[in-house]
Structure 1
Amino acid sequence: MHRRGILGTTLLLALVLLFWYQQRTYSRPTPPTHSPHHNTQWDYKRDANTLILNAARCQSAFPGLFAEVDRAKRERANRHIRLDEIDSITIKNGYVRAMIYDQQLYVIKNNGTIYSRELATLHALHRAIVTSPEPLPNIEFVYNTDDRVDPITQWGYARREEDKYIWLMPDFGYWSWPETKVGSMKEVQMKAEVAEQAWPWTKKIPRLFWRGATMGLEVRDKLVEITKDQPWADVKPIIWRNNESMKNDLRSMPDHCEFKYLAQTEGNTYSGRLKYLQSCRSVIVSHKLEWIQHQSPLMKNSGPEQNYVEVRRDWSDLHEKINWLEEHDEDARRIAENNVRTFRDHYLTPAAEVCYWRHLIRSWAEVSFKPEFYTEVDGKQVWRGVPVESFMLERRLKWEPY
């Protein structure tokens, strides 16, 4: 009996020690050395893929990123967005009407399709919602994925200076652009970083590089004309579906990083190429842009923070600007460094993108009506929309009843 008592006491003591150890090890973990909510110093390697920054941290990490949203909100500060405005928007190709309600994204209406753009934008918006560390307000809105949208109160990828009522959102390519085989923005950036290892500044080809379809656009035709037979240029138009042209002239986006100077041209409206060029440690040479994107306020064409070179829209001073870059190689290198530091390593990261989406949602809510979750059909209350998860799998809003 004495021995059994000793064993029982020993076992009890072992259990107490085990319980104490578990409480010490698992119940009271050591706080992490980095909290994305409190450390305000941006660190690209640590923060680029952090999707859980709160609103205060987003503001401190990305000063200037939200200029376009704040501008649009000011336009409606004294004249709030009404339900009948949204109802009156003409349903065109690329149209999506959606709602965020109790932290869930719903698709209410859609029309047509422009490649994969509508789905890409829904995916990006959904990611920003489900990773938010703070509750987001209920809102209802319309966005359109066409290059050019009606200049009314809706969300779009780009606008002109006079299109004051369009609210800008990140374009579809930040999620992915599969039709052009570019892939996701993160994929482009990772491949650009690898390319930069093989092509540091001193080894980059000292030419102005451009590939693309001219599509009969004057600004592109003029670039081809101005650079013809110039030793400082490697500019060629691509003829889509022409096997010879595609085989000999097409270059991947990471291949662009081999060149010191990259030409940027607008297309039908804005050009989806710009964000990819901003992933290279190269000098972007752009004609004066008419179309504004969400990152446009961060582009600087002069001063110590200059991150691109601007030329006239007809390219008439292009040769002069290239000569200057060739004669001022250290300045050119500084501009290229500013480009990649501002965009690839900071403002075009996944962390910045979700911060922008959430600021857009909050700002819209501040000057807009509150949505209704239900509508009445045949005397019954029914949901106004389909959860985005189901819509993206089925790609339709209605199902036949069993």
Structure 2
Amino acid sequence: MKSCVDGEEGMCGSINEKRKSAIAAIKSSTRGVGIVFVALFLLVVLIPSRWIDRVSFVLTNNEESSSHGGHAHPKKSPRIPISFTCPNATSVERLSCTRRAPPLSTSPSPSPSPTPSSSSSEPSPSTAATTAAAACPGYFRYIHEDLRPWRGRGGITRAAVEEARSLAHFRLVVLGGRAFVEHYSGAFQTRDVFTLWGVLQLLARYPGRVPDLDLMFNCDDPPVVRFDSYRAGEGPSAPPLPPLFRYCKEPATADIVFPDWSFWGWPEVNIKPWEPLLVDLKEGNERVKWKDREPYAFWKGNPWVAGTRQDLLKCNVSNGREWNARLFTQNWESEIRNGFKGSNLADQCLYRYKIYIEGRAWSVSEKYILACNSPTLLVTSMYQDFFTRGLMPGHHYWPIRPDHKCPSIKFAVDWGNKHQKEAQAIGKAGSGFIQEEVKMDYVYDYMLHLLTEYAKLLRYKPTVPEKATELCLESMACAAEGLVKTFMMDSRAKWVHDSEPCTLPPSFDPKELKEISKRKDEAIKQVEMWERKA
């Protein structure tokens, strides 16, 4: 944080005002102490002793209560650090996981229930078990929807998992809290590396809480497990529906949605892990007030990954037409050569509106765009990641028609500039959703609940594949170099989580899903109606 000597007059003025307020509060509290002493003196002189005892009792209890924030919570035990040490570079055990891992047990998997067994050798993840955990954000309910197809089939068989092998980049097995991976093909860049790194953080953060499981994972963008390719209920010869984890899905596919790799960092394009980046984005939001930002819609990205993005570029100022959009092509090769000076996400909150548009499918840029406090003009897409299913058009973002992008963007900006209060409310709602409901605590809790519910559906006991390799923090991070290692260190979980995970809400009633879908459709149609009348 900058100090007043840096010449930030607005910041210094704010700090000085806070100092004055603090001094006034101290003086006020001092006067309050004097009043309390006078009152106590009068009590001693004028009120019978039996009443003094009662007053003393009340004051003592209030003092004790205030020291606990108004509630008598049990005192927490010291936080438990997650051990991590890279051995000497010459050590033969540099990449070995066996020196820290206990032998695999033949005992049953750790209980998937919210409270670990008292006989577990792992430390309890919470010292406040008597306090009810907060409910998870509403989008967690889609965990039940993603797994519903296999509940209707009586669970997940080994044959169903094997069916997904040809579609997967890797197979992940968790046994006794240890992770094993079998790679089938190379994923794009380091998507698989940072996805697996995220799983290791989950295992370290919630020791003994991730049950034994066996899953297949695909790191590409478009979903591939289409329902119509796996006809259910058409006899024993019908192929089993393969459970395949990936980063997004669409209504016609059965892919199981998992948080994407970039939450732990994207070194190829110098995008930091989500936790430190979110701090940068919040600071970037404060640099320029919304009303002082450029009154246009901003987008910067790679247009060559999809035709819909190339079509978006037509909305730039051209042939005398003003579409209220300022669109820029991101040349990543040039950025790499120039040290990523032109791609800092925290420096892109300079426009009143930001555009989100899908790439080959969904894009990781969605969370960065939504976090900017500027209303997101979201080009309607059929692809969904794990949290965007909790977004509501007209509240968290402004829907843009994919078949009429330019006039739709122009109308949205014109409308927002004329209705600034309403536009700012949309920007704050989207930004607040990202900053509060998609913070890393919830990302990990989503992973924990999803894997726990998935493991409950397995109809067989997972075993370590013959060609699998064990993964641990040291085996991944100690051998890493450059930004890969930097981002691993920046996203590493330092402590065992010291409270219960949020409580998974129940599944949707079918009527609820229809009502949510209806509300979203009506909000989009309302905007389209306004556009037609303009």
Shift in Å at residue 181 of structure 1?
1.0
Which whole-Å CA distance do the structure 2 matches of 1:196 and 1:76 have between them?
43
Shift in Å at residue 299 of structure 1?
1.0
Q: Note the aligned Cα RMSD (angstroms).
A: 3.4
Where does residue 392 of structure 1 map in the other structure? Answer: 476
Whether the 8 Å contact between 2:173 and 2:464 is mirrored in structure 1 is no
Q: Which has the higher strand share?
A: 1
Q: Deviations over 1:309-351 (max 9, x none)?
A: 001012142211221111110001111111121111x122110
Which whole-Å CA distance do the structure 2 matches of 1:142 and 1:58 have between them?
34
Following TM superposition, where does structure 1 have runs of at least 4 consecutive aligned residues deviating by more than 4 angstroms?
33-36, 51-59, 242-249, 382-385
Shift in Å at residue 34 of structure 1?
11
Relative to 1, partners in 2 of residues 1:34 and 1:249: Cα closer, same or farther, differing over 3 Å? same
Whether the 8 Å contact between 1:253 and 1:276 is mirrored in structure 2 is yes
Relative to 1, partners in 2 of residues 1:301 and 1:146: Cα closer, same or farther, differing over 3 Å? same
Which whole-Å CA distance do the structure 1 matches of 2:130 and 2:364 have between them?
30
Unmatched runs of 5 consecutive residues or more in structure 2: 1-72, 80-124, 226-241, 480-534
In the TM superposition, 1:98-247 aligns within 5 A as: 98-132=172-206, 135-151=209-225, 152-163=242-253, 165-215=254-304, 217-229=306-318, 230=322, 232-241=324-333
SS at match of 1:186: helix
SS at match of 2:304: coil
Which whole-Å CA distance do the structure 2 matches of 1:253 and 1:64 have between them?
27
Q: Deviations over 1:344-398 (max 9, x none)?
A: 1x122110011000011111012223433357xxxxxx79642344652588xxx
Counting matched residue pairs gives 341
Which whole-Å CA distance do the structure 1 matches of 2:185 and 2:340 have between them?
38
Which whole-Å CA distance do the structure 1 matches of 2:252 and 2:130 have between them?
31
Relative to 1, partners in 2 of residues 1:54 and 1:97: Cα closer, same or farther, differing over 3 Å? farther
Which whole-Å CA distance do the structure 1 matches of 2:304 and 2:298 have between them?
18
Relative to 1, partners in 2 of residues 1:196 and 1:216: Cα closer, same or farther, differing over 3 Å? closer
Shift in Å at residue 120 of structure 1?
0.6
- TM-score where L is the length of structure 1: 0.76
Query: Identity of counterpart residues, as a percentage?
Result: 17
Shift in Å at residue 74 of structure 1?
1.5
Which whole-Å CA distance do the structure 1 matches of 2:145 and 2:179 have between them?
25
| Residue range with higher mean Cα deviation, 94-103 or 247-256 | 247-256
Which whole-Å CA distance do the structure 1 matches of 2:138 and 2:410 have between them?
32
User: Is 2:380 the counterpart of 1:296?
Assistant: no
SS at match of 1:210: strand
Whether the 8 Å contact between 1:54 and 1:132 is mirrored in structure 2 is no
Whether the 8 Å contact between 1:53 and 1:132 is mirrored in structure 2 is no
Unmatched runs of 5 consecutive residues or more in structure 1: 1-29, 37-50, 376-381, 396-402
Relative to 1, partners in 2 of residues 1:99 and 1:249: Cα closer, same or farther, differing over 3 Å? closer
Shift in Å at residue 159 of structure 1?
1.1
- Decide which of 163, 187, 192 is 1:88's aligned counterpart: 163
Relative to 1, partners in 2 of residues 1:161 and 1:232: Cα closer, same or farther, differing over 3 Å? same
Whether the 8 Å contact between 1:224 and 1:235 is mirrored in structure 2 is yes
Where does residue 40 of structure 1 map in the other structure? Answer: none
Whether the 8 Å contact between 1:147 and 1:270 is mirrored in structure 2 is yes
Where does residue 416 of structure 2 map in the other structure? Answer: 325
Which whole-Å CA distance do the structure 2 matches of 1:224 and 1:70 have between them?
39
Shift in Å at residue 227 of structure 1?
3.1
SS at match of 1:257: coil
Q: Aligned partner of 1:386: which letter?
A: E
Relative to 1, partners in 2 of residues 1:53 and 1:291: Cα closer, same or farther, differing over 3 Å? farther
SS at match of 2:134: helix
| Residue range with higher mean Cα deviation, 272-281 or 218-227 | 218-227
Q: Aligned partner of 2:476: which letter?
A: M
- TM-score where L is the length of structure 2: 0.58
Relative to 1, partners in 2 of residues 1:391 and 1:113: Cα closer, same or farther, differing over 3 Å? farther
